[in-house]
Amino acid sequence: MGHPLPRARRGRYGRPLLTASPQPTPDPTRTERRIIKVRILRRWGPARIAYLLGLNPATVHRVLTRYGLARLAHLDRATGRVIRRYEHAAPGDLVHVDIKKLGNIPDGGGHKVLGRQAGRKNSAKAGMSFLHNAIDDHSRLVYSEILVDEKKETAVGFWQRAHTFFANAGITIRRVLTDNGSCYRSHLWRNSLAEQGISHKRTRPYRPQTNGKVERFNLTLLDEWAYAKSYRSEAERRDAYPLWLHTYNHHRGHTALKGQSPASRVPNLAGQYN
């Protein structure tokens, strides 16, 4: 003898109750799929994803939360350890300075345009560029120049222009953090900062994550400018840099700044056009 069927639930006056059957989870929309794809492939936060896809950071955050992707572990690529984030209280409390070396694109293009084998041959004598970068710890405001070398005279000349840039933005610099490159260990560099009343701190050897904000900027400029498209010459790529840098400072949202741009944290930054 089989088990009896369960009795239907009944409400007032003995009428059977209508129960809703469980609904299947809806498939992600096209926008949600794009958000999830960028998150998984690039490990970006809501603000960067929103900027890339032209969305509101709050919308991106809701989607990531819905699919269990809201938390992003920031790991040191060398050790795999979680990076302990910090932020100085005011603009100018600390400015990170660094140099990023970048292979030039030869006329006619590199491997992205010509293919790997032909691109390597074409790039062999293209030379190097040296991106000197200075980023304010509190606001993430960046001053950057593409220069021909990393000699002490070049580094000090860059710093003088960077110092003027930050001063014009209403930022008084108190301390600068660099790595242990020879130009930053020179008397010329030390004396230049001392004349401006700025203290100089160097990172511990083999610990580039100590200068993490400028290292993060270096990765971002590679991702969003240097390798973002198939440039046909170094001149074409350099021509695109000022606009990208302006967008970074004035319009691109940063997860660490709750979706705001560096310009939102700077007392007096000119050039905030759309």
The CATH number given to whatever domain includes residue 166 is 3.30.420.10
Confidence check: pLDDT of 82 > 80: no
Question: Is residue 113 domain-shared with residue 244, that is, in the same domain?
Answer: yes
| Token pair for 126 | 């293209």
105 and 238 share one domain:
yes
Joined together, the tokens standing for residue 269 give 């930054």
Least confident of 125-129, 198-202, 222-226, 234-238: 125-129
Residue range of the domain that includes 243: 95-259
Percent of the chain with pLDDT over 70: 71
Whether 14 shows a pLDDT value over 70: the answer reads no
Amino acid type, 88: H
| Residues 244 and 110 reside in one and the same domain | yes
Question: What confidence tens digit (pLDDT) does each residue in 233-244 have?
Answer: 999 999 999 999
Q: Is residue 205 part of a domain?
A: yes
The residue behind tokens 């203290």 is 199
What end-to-end distance do the CA atoms of the chain give, in Å? Answer: 78
Residue 231 lies in a domain: yes
Query: Does residue 30 sit in the same domain as residue 149?
Result: no
**pLDDT at position 11, please?**
52
Domain assignment present for residue 235? The answer is yes
Last residue of a domain, one of 72, 104, 136: 72
pLDDT at 9: 54
Shared domain check, 242 and 118? yes
Amino acid (1-letter code) at residue 177: L
**Is residue 122 situated within a structural domain?**
yes
Q: Does some domain include residue 268?
A: no
Cβ burial of 224 (10 Å; 0-12, 13-18, 19+) is middle
Give the up-direction half-sphere exposure of residue 191: CA atoms within 13 A in the CB hemisphere: 6
What's the mean pLDDT when you consider all of the chain?
79
